Amino acid sequence: MNSGNTNFGILFIDDEEKSLKYFDAIFSDLAPIYLARSPEEGFELFRRYHDKIAIVVSDKKMPGESGLSLLTRIRELDAKPLRFLITAYADLDLAVDSLNNGLLYTYLTKPWDPTDLEHRLSRALKHFRLEREREILLHEKSLAFQQLLMADKAAGIGILSAGLNHHLRNALTVLRTFHDLLPYQLHEEVQGELKDPDFWEDSYREAGEQIERMTSILGNLSEGTEMSGLNLSDHIDFPALLHEARAIVSNDQRCPRFRMIVSHDVPKISGDRQKLSQMARFLFEEARTNLREENEVEVRVTKSIDEEGIDVAFIDDGPPIPEEELARIFDPFYVRMNQPEELGINLLACYLTVFQHGGMICAKQAPDGRNSILFSLPCIPNRLSETEGLDSAHQTLWRLADFSDRDARSASAALSS
């Protein structure tokens, strides 16, 4: 194996030692070469290095397992690398059928011609790289579109929050004033003892609690949707903020179990410490509100793949959230339980905090069926305001769309050459 080349490589599988040596000697300058002397060795190499392999070339007839069976297993593990089959003339019909059903990219007959094979491998490598670039581009466009949606949603939430706070606070002020004056008014209107003092005391207390609850909800809504600029601090240890939030929430006996898994290489980040601390607390409070003592929440914190931020996952084994509702989980009044304490404001605030810091957040079903909230935060925030975020997302989306058109034209020209 040529480990000095960082390009995508070629896995060659053949039980003949001479073929392995020839293949390595002839094509080692074309790409990194991975050599396997048996189907099992080939599958193990592919399992370990499939994200670095562009092409798999396998002989059809080998002891223990045929090349077609091996390529079928390889496709099931990772279908992206292109698959070549070397076969005899007698097996051409089978090779053509495999080509037609998508198992093979191409096939060649024994003995293979070095010049012809080099031409085929070069074209296949170019095709694979263009497909990879296209996938990356589509992923970037998807992220840009998600940022655009987040910016639109953040702007709408800001308007909603301002309207609710203005109108509902005025109404609550009237209700609170009436509530405070009610005992004195009752004392003047009612001469003597009340017929049912317990009823009046319970009703008065319940009304007061509901007024306080509505005031608290509006306060959280106002605090959580505050879209003013960030008060940035450096060297924030986000896992430490999570530990602090867990300690606060875990004082409640009704709290589910929390299990934290933090990678050793998680970087420090810059951001608004107050907002990030609030977000950490809201995430744990959301779990406490919607889960039972027997449930467990797994919290994972890792360095992002691009090493420019952190990835965080809150995964719980509570009642599964229906697939069609996952997209609504950050809406202001979405609830998971029939008797919510804080409506959906906690997750709404988390959504906006991630947006302000230039990150991404979503809710998904984990592969094992558990609910998960996933978000990423960059080491350095790049979001200044909802308006600037909206403009930036639009510009990124159109830039990527223009680049995609040019890339498609260049890909077509390259593949036809």
Would you place residue 82 in the very low, low, confident or very high pLDDT band (cuts 50, 70, 90)?
A: very high
Q: How far is 235 from 354, CA to CA, in rounded Å? A: 17
The mean pLDDT of 237-253, rounded to a whole number, is 91
Answer whether residue 132 is part of any domain. Answer: no
In this predicted model, what pLDDT tens digit does every residue of 97-144 receive, in sequence order?
777 677 899 888 888 899 999 999 999 999 999 998 888 788 777 767
Domain carrying residue 84? 9-112
β-pair partners for 55: 10, 82
Would you place residue 3 in the very low, low, confident or very high pLDDT band (cuts 50, 70, 90)?
A: very low
Answer whether residue 254 is part of any domain. Answer: yes
Identify the burial level of 124 via C-beta atoms within 10 angstroms of its C-beta, where 0-12 means exposed, 13-18 middle and 19 or more buried.
Answer: buried
Would you place residue 409 in the very low, low, confident or very high pLDDT band (cuts 50, 70, 90)?
A: very low
Answer whether residue 72 is part of any domain. Answer: yes
Rg of the chain over CA atoms, in angstroms? 31
Give the chain's domain count.
Answer: 2
Q: By C-alpha distance, which of 181, 169, 150 is closest to 216? A: 169
Q: What is the distance between the terminal CA atoms of the chain, rounded to a whole angstrom?
A: 30
Clarify whether residues 380 and 234 are in a common domain.
Answer: yes
The mean pLDDT of 216-242, rounded to a whole number, is 79
The mean pLDDT of 280-286, rounded to a whole number, is 92
**Which pLDDT score, from 0 to 100, does residue 308 have?**
86
What's the CATH code of the domain at 286? 3.30.565.10
Answer whether residue 29 is part of any domain. Answer: yes
* Last residue within a domain, chosen from 50, 85, 112: 112
**Which pLDDT score, from 0 to 100, does residue 227 have?**
54
112-116, 180-184, 289-293, range with greatest mean pLDDT: 112-116
* Last residue within a domain, chosen from 66, 97, 112: 112
* Last residue within a domain, chosen from 70, 90, 112: 112
Answer whether residue 223 is part of any domain. Answer: no
Say whether pLDDT at 95 is over 90. no
The mean pLDDT of 47-65, rounded to a whole number, is 92
Answer whether residue 354 is part of any domain. Answer: yes
**Which pLDDT score, from 0 to 100, does residue 92 have?**
67
